Structure 1
Amino acid sequence: MRTVPGPTDHVVVVGAGLSGLACALHLLGAGRRVTVVERDAGPGGRAGRLRLGGYEIDTGPTVLTMPHLADEAFAAVGDSLRHHVELVPLHPAYRARFADGTALDVHTDGEAMEEEVRRFAGPAEADGYRRLRDWLERLYRAQMRRFVDANFDSPFQLLHPDLARLAALGGFGRLDRGIGRFLQDPRLRRVFSFQALYAGVAPARALAAYAVIAYMDTVAGVWFPKGGMHALPRGMADAASGAGAEFRWSSEVTELERSGDRVRAVRLASGERIACDAVVLTCELPAAHELLGRAPRRPVRLRHSPSAVVLHAGTDRTWDSLAHHTLSFGAAWEQTFEELTRSGRLMSDPSLLITRPTTHDPRLAPAGRHLHYVLAPCPNTAVGPSAETWRDLGPRYRDSLVAELERRGLDGFADSVQEEALITPLDWTAQGHAAGSPFSVSHTFAQTGPFRPRNLIRGVENAVLAGCGTTPGVGVPTVLLSGKLAAARVTGGTPRRTVTSLPSGPRAARTAPATPAGVHDPS
């Protein structure tokens, strides 16, 4: 594994999102002095916090899976996730509601889900679910250590027995066909393949290997942090500060001072200079490349995932049909992905994610009120409406979403709204997200594993990247891993390897102490 040469005693981490905080904790655990520079007034990055009329709103991800990856970062400094964040396991993980009026609770417990599938679709599908679950677990074990939790220096690193195991499992076939080998009911197939949208690829074109995301969502477990998702980066920042990290809030990096091939210091908008031995950039890829003064050459231009419109609504009522997370599927399916990824049209029959965080933490809203988060995928600005178009389009689309919610059983939603915030590709663009998408570079084959933008930049020997635009990819678990992998590029070793399964119950977030730094990554 290639690592940063020369001294690495003091590392500046640019950005206090999940990847930057994970990186800082792993660096601190390896004995480095760390300064974290963040342009916002507090931690979180995408997982930020908006306070609106007494409502505490998560501005980014709402689904937490694989919390042991966060605990690894805490463990690097002798701390623990459970000391900072109270996690609530969600049962069900999701509720799926379909256009025909049927509904299914998605349980991560195998026996509970088998019974639910039997009730919903009969004994043959229940048997198929058990076989699907076994396949998902084997896919996860075949991929995680070698292809996800790994730094790549060359595509030749793929040549390993795990690659043959993955191929034997059908990992290089298509996702929808892979799921279809076990389930015939099209509604069930959607539950286990919609996660391809996270990767920015339609299930009909996504590799079956991406079913590992379905493993995280439907097998490994889904948790909710009390205080909202923002409690996680806040706890990570507290742990890093307690371990000696220096945080510079409301500070924007405008320049990297270089001498030859090394970064010698970062310069802030205030004019201040912070000398360093290495720098980890967790900002968006375009911003990182601008600071570095170069972008890696690629044979084809990077493709980005679809974007999303998010409606945060504080209401004076709620609806019993909603779980903590509710997937509301439209009747269309293949057409939806065609619209989102190719034709660039808004979903004509939308599938939506509705999250109600006040289900498990009423303190996020004023007494007697409720908080609803409605996410509607939409085309990114490279294939769909431009960012500026959303200035006028946004309010109209908001009204159509609200009308659709009422048609799907949330009667009186429009009149219940007391406070709201609408986020569109215009806002994502203003935050610096390429193609107006908060989901970054999509996971096509040419942008996955060793073909994804690397976390080392040629020509700058002591700069490392972290975040969803680089290795290993998009999503809370992979972003946490990206911070660990970036730290390994600096320290020359990984603090510890991820486990291949996650126990259920109240001890699920606990892990063993970190392995001493300096152990070389065998990959």
Structure 2
Amino acid sequence: MRHVPGRTDHVVVVGAGLAGLSTALHLLGAGRRVTLVERDAFPGGRAGRADVTDAHGTYLLDTGPTVLTMPDLLEEAFAAAGTRMADRLDLVRLDPAYRAEFADGSAISVHTDAAAMEQEVRDVCGPDSAAGYRRLREWLTALYRTEIDGFIGGNADSPLSLLGPDLARLAALGGFGRLGPRIAKLLPDERLRRIFSFQSLYAGVAPADALGAYGVIAYMDTVAGVYFPRGGMRALGDALAGAAVDAGAELLLGRTVTGLERSGDRVTAVRHTGSDGTEGRVACDAVVLTAELPAAYDLLGGAPRRPVPLRWSPSAVVVQAGLPEPGPDAPSRHHHTISFGAAWERTFREIVDDGRLMSDPSLLVTRPGLTEPGVAPAGRELVSVLAPCPNTAVSDIDWDAVGPAYVEELLGVVADRGLLDPHVVAAGPSWTRTWTPATWAAQGMGAGTPFSLAHTLAQTGPFRPRNLVSGVENAVLAGCGTTPGVGIPPVLISGRLAAERVTGTPAPVSSFAPVGAPR
């Protein structure tokens, strides 16, 4: 494994998002001195926060991911710095992980317990689908076991470094075939095919086009389990940052990195500016950049050449609203509800290829207050609606003009599908907050997407932008734009991989198996 040569005693980590915090904890555990520099006033990065106060009180909004899987990777990061996750985070396992609702009025609760899910499938879809689910679960588990250490959890210096028995096993499992057709062979019910393949959109690719290897994302959701931290998703950044500071890290918040000082091909210091205009400088022996990929390359003096241009994932519109808490006669509510429209393959063509809004949207509706009541005032609820949409590279939608009408349309669709009281929607929420591709772009995210680079074959594994930087011998990348990719589990792993590049010593392979997962 290639690593940073020379002295690496003091490392500056640019960005205190989940990747940067994971990097810091693993570096601290390896005996390095660490300084974290973060532009926001709080840690967490994409797992951000915003508080809204109305006449009823204060709502605690999570502005990033709402789905937490693979908490063993959090445990691994905490353990690197000599602390325990249980002492810093209180995680609630969600059951069901999701509630999937369909245009024909049917619904399927997605349980991660094998027996409970098999029974759910049998009851709703029949015995053939139940048998298919069992076979699918075995396949997803085999994919995970084959991929997690060598392909996802290891540093690769070149494609040749992946050659070996695991590559042969992955090929035999169908990892280089297409995900959608593979799942269709196992599951006769089209509703189940959606439940176990929609996750590929997290990787920026339609199920029909995604590599079978990305079934591992469905494993994380539907086998390993979905969790929610008490206090909201913001608790992740607070807990990891607290552990880093307690282990000796210096955390500089509200400081934007403005430049890197170099001597030859080594970075010698990081310059930063506060919101009040004060300037600062931190000398360093190495630097780990977890900023958005375009911003990181700008700091380094330019992006490396690639044989094909980078392709970005689809984006999303997220609407959050403060609403009256439904009465006792309201339909049952769930932490996560996936509301599928009648359309499916057309939906992916519209947002991935055509650059158009979904004509029959599939949506993720999240009600965090069902698990953590403290996120909304008494008698109120916080509702979040996520709608996938085109990124700014494939669409020229004027979001300032289109956004308000689209928000109204989305809330109307959710009400029409019985997930919100239509009278409340007609009267209007007490407030709404909206994030669009224009919002993400203003935050520096490439092509206006919070999901970074798509996981096409040319941007997967060793073909993804590398975490070592050509021409700068002591700079390393971490985060969703580099290896292994997008999502909370991959960015936590990316932090460990970046730390290994600095120290030159791979961390011990984790013995953790996700809670509830077969060993």
Which interval holds the TM-score relative to the shorter structure?
A: over 0.9
Write out per-residue CA displacement over residues 132-166 of structure 1, whole angstroms, 9 at most, x where no aligned residue. 10010001111111100011110101211101101
Contact kept in structure 2, 1:307 and 1:438, CA below 8 Å: yes
Amino acid at match of 1:273: R
Amino acid at match of 2:100: A
2:197 to 193, 197, 212: 193
Distance in 2 (alpha carbons) for counterparts of 1:293 and 1:321? 53
Q: Which of these residues, 352, 357, 375, is aligned with residue 341 of structure 1?
A: 352
- Give, in angstroms, the shift of residue 493 of structure 1: 1.6
Deviation at 1:368, TM superposition (A): 1.2
SS at match of 2:233: coil
Structure-2 residue corresponding to 1:372? 383
Partner in structure 2 of residue 392 of structure 1: 401
Structure 1 equivalent of residue 509 of structure 2: 497
2-structure distance, mates of 1:138, 1:278? 38
1:411 aligns with 2:415: no
Which whole-Å CA distance do the structure 2 matches of 1:29 and 1:359 have between them?
A: 37
Q: Secondary structure at the match of 1:494?
A: coil
Partner of 1:452: 464
Q: What is the TM-score of this pair, normalised by structure 1? A: 0.95
Contact kept, 8 Å, 2:72 with 2:512, in 1: the verdict is no
Are the counterparts in 2 of residues 43 and 233 from structure 1 also a CA contact under 8 Å?
A: yes
Report if aligned partners of 2:35, 2:251 keep a CA contact under 8 Å in 1: yes
Give the Cα separation in 1 of the matches to 2:317 and 2:41. 25
Identity of aligned residues (%): 63
Q: Distance in 1 between matches of 2:463 and 2:510?
A: 22
Which residues in structure 2 correspond to 1:470-509 (within 5 Å)?
470-499=482-511, 501-504=513-516
Partner of residue 284 from structure 1, selected from 289, 292, 317: 292
Q: Which runs of 5+ in 2 are unaligned?
A: none
One-letter amino acid matched to 2:421: D
Which residue of structure 1 aligns with residue 116 of structure 2? Answer: 112
Please tell me whether the aligned partners of residues 128 and 188 of structure 2 are also in contact (alpha carbons under 8 angstroms): no
Letter in 2 for 1:105: S
Conservation of the 8 A alpha-carbon contact between 1:72 and 1:496: no
Other-structure match for 1:10: 10
Residues 69-88 of structure 1 aligned to structure 2 (within 5 Å):
69-88=73-92
1:316, CA displacement in angstroms?
Answer: 0.7
* Cα distance in 1 between the residues matched to 2:428 and 2:197: 33
Matching residue's letter, 1:494: P
Establish whether residue 275 from structure 1 lines up as the match of residue 248 from structure 2.
Answer: no
Residues 410-445 of structure 1 deviation map (CA, whole Å, 9 limit, x = unaligned): 232413622220111111000000100000000000
C-alpha deviations, 1:39-71, integer Å up to 9, x for none?
Answer: 111101110110001000000000000001011
The residue number in structure 1 matching 2:261 is 257
Note if contact 1:140-1:500 (Cα within 8 Å) is conserved in structure 2: no
Distance 1:419 1:114 in 2: 41
CA offset at residue 500 of structure 1? Answer: 6.6
| Amino acid corresponding to residue 167 of structure 2 in structure 1 | L
1:36 paired with 2:46, answer: no
Once the two structures are superposed, residues 360-382 of structure 1 have per-residue CA deviations (whole angstroms, 9 ceiling, x without a partner) of 11111011111111000000000
Question: Is the 8 Å Cα contact of residues 37 and 248 (structure 1) preserved in structure 2?
Answer: yes
> 2:223, 2:516 within 8 Å by CA — same for their partners in 1?
no
- Equivalent position of 2:331 in the other structure: 320
Q: Distance in 1 between matches of 2:498 and 2:440?
A: 25
Contact 2:288-2:498 at 8 Å conserved across structures: yes
TM-score by length of 2: 0.96
Q: 2:435 is matched with which residue: 407, 416, 423?
A: 423
Q: C-alpha deviations, 1:461-506, integer Å up to 9, x for none?
A: 000000000000000000100001000000112333234731239x
What residue in structure 1 maps to residue 452 of structure 2? Answer: 440
Aligned equivalent of 1:295: 303
Alpha carbons 2:12, 2:35 under 8 Å: kept: yes
Letter in 1 for 2:182: G
How far apart, in 1, do the equivalents of 2:332 and 2:493 lie? 35
Say yes or no: does 1:156 pair with 2:160: yes
CA distance in 2, matches of 1:129, 1:351: 23
2:27 is the alignment partner of 1:27? yes
- 1:125 aligns with 129
Give the letter aligned to residue 408 of structure 1.
R
Contact 1:265–1:274, Cα closer than 8 Å, also in 2: yes
Cα distance in structure 1, aligned partners of 2:111 and 2:324: 29
The gaps in structure 1 that reach 5 residues or longer are 509-523
Residue 359 of structure 1 pairs with residue 370 of structure 2: yes
Aligned residue pairs total 504
Q: Distance in 1 between matches of 2:86 and 2:430?
A: 34
Q: For 1:317-359, what per-residue CA distance to the aligned partner results, in whole angstroms no more than 9, with x for missing partners?
A: 2453331100000000000000111000000000000110000
Residue type at the aligned position of 2:268: R
Do 1:37 and 1:247's aligned partners in 2 also have CA atoms closer than 8 Å? Answer: yes
Give the equivalent residue in structure 2 for 1:211: 215
The Cα offsets for residues 162-187 of structure 1, whole Å up to 9 and x where unpaired, read as: 01101111111110111012101111
1:146 aligns with 2:144: no
Counterpart AA for 1:50 = A
Read off the aligned partner of 1:225 and give its amino acid letter: P
User: Matched residue of 1:498: which SS?
Assistant: coil
What is residue 330 of structure 1 aligned with on the other side? 341
What is the CA deviation profile of residues 279-314 of structure 1, one whole-angstrom value per residue up to 9, with x for unaligned ones?
000000110000000211101110000000000111
Give the Cα separation in 1 of the matches to 2:412 and 2:222: 30
Spell out structure 1 runs of 4+ moving beyond 4 A.
none
Amino acid at match of 2:307: P
Match of 1:100, SS state, is coil
Q: Is 1:49 paired with 2:59?
A: no
Partner amino acid for 2:226?
A: V
Please show how residues 174-185 of structure 1 align to structure 2 within 5 Å.
Answer: 174-185=178-189
Distance 1:294 1:400 in 2: 41
Q: Does the residue aligned with 2:260 lie in a helix, a strand or coil?
A: strand
* Conserved? CA contact 1:149–1:498, under 8 Å: no
Which residue does the alignment assign to 2:411?
402
Q: Call closer, same or farther: CA 1:180–1:500 in 2, change over 3 Å.
A: farther
Give the Cα–Cα distance (whole angstroms) in 2 for the partners of residues 358 and 81 of structure 1: 23
2:459 partner amino acid: Q
**Residue 221 (structure 1) aligns with:** 225
What amino acid is the match of 1:291?
L
Q: Secondary structure at the match of 2:186?
A: coil
- State the alpha-carbon separation in 2 of the partners of residues 435 and 99 from structure 1: 31
Name the CA distance, whole Å, in 1 between partners of 2:446 and 2:197. Answer: 25
- Separation in 2, partners of 1:13, 1:65: 25
